[in-house]
Amino acid sequence: MFTGIVTDIGEVDAVEAKADGLRRIVIACRYDRASIDIGASIACAGICLTVVETGLSGNRTWFAVDAAAETAALTNASGWTVGTRINLERSLKMGDELGGHIVTGHVDGIARVKSREDLAEQVRFVLTAPHEIARFIAKKGSVALDGASLTVNEVDGDDFSVLIIPHTLQVTTLNAWQAGTPVHLEVDLMARYAARLLETAK
């Protein structure tokens, strides 16, 4: 479980193809190696992945995760190469501040940036969600985009917009987004449950 508050930007150091479509991905980060347990969950660009190995390279910590073929098929992880920058978040601990919203790390689909508008103090992105999950996105509701918890500004059919403040642009990978950029989208868990309750009530 996560909150969508990005705590580091990792960088892919190595990618190794393994059997059955599995890919082992090594990610460099600023976390203290001693604080990363084998088996821990780390959200990598919004995908909950399990740490299988850790180490040090010079003065940098690295951790390795295995991305299954299904993960690669449903996310952008198949396109990660050496140098790819990735939003990171450690899993939520009891007593931690819930600064964003409840995020599971289970990506619902790929949204695509439709437009970028650089304003005086912030950036406005319009994104297009997959049609089958667009119904879960509501004005003033929450979404996780590449692992970052964001508030929806406006909704128009399958399109929705978000406004990104300077701090978020500095501490995440969102500033690199341009028209056409594919983005991991996780809708608000409560929206899914509300929709399911309405379906069963019928």
Query: What residue segments make up the domains of the chain, in order of their start?
Result: 8-90, 109-201
Q: How far apart are the first and last CA of the chain?
A: 31
Q: Comparing 8-90 with 109-201, is the CATH topology the same?
A: yes
pLDDT of 202 higher than 80 = no
CA angle at residue 21 from 9 to 11, to 5 degrees? 15
Question: Cα separation of 179 and 202, whole Å?
Answer: 40
Alpha helices in 26-108 (DSSP H): 69-74
Residue 189, H or E segment: helix 189-201
The 10s digit of each residue's pLDDT in 73-118 is 889 999 999 999 999 999 988 777 777 888 999 999 999 999 999 9
Q: What pLDDT sits at residue 42?
A: 98
Contacts of 93-98 with C-beta under 8 Å, sequence gap 24+, read 96/3, 97/3, 98/3
Name the class of domain 109-201.
Answer: mainly beta
Using a cut of 0.85, tell me whether the model's pTM lies above it.
yes
Question: Cα separation of 28 and 10, whole Å?
Answer: 5
Q: What pLDDT sits at residue 102?
A: 87
The 10s digit of each residue's pLDDT in 17-75 is 999 889 999 999 999 999 999 999 999 999 999 999 999 988 899 999 999 988 988 89
Q: In the block, which residue shows the tokens 């500033």? A: 175
Single-letter code of the amino acid located at 27: I
Single-letter code of the amino acid located at 171: V
In the CATH scheme, what architecture does the domain 8-90 have? Beta Barrel (2.40)
Phi-psi region of 105 (alpha: psi -120 to 50; beta: other; left: phi over 0): left
Q: What pLDDT sits at residue 72?
A: 86
Q: How far is CA 45 from CA 36, 51, 55, in A?
A: 18, 15, 21
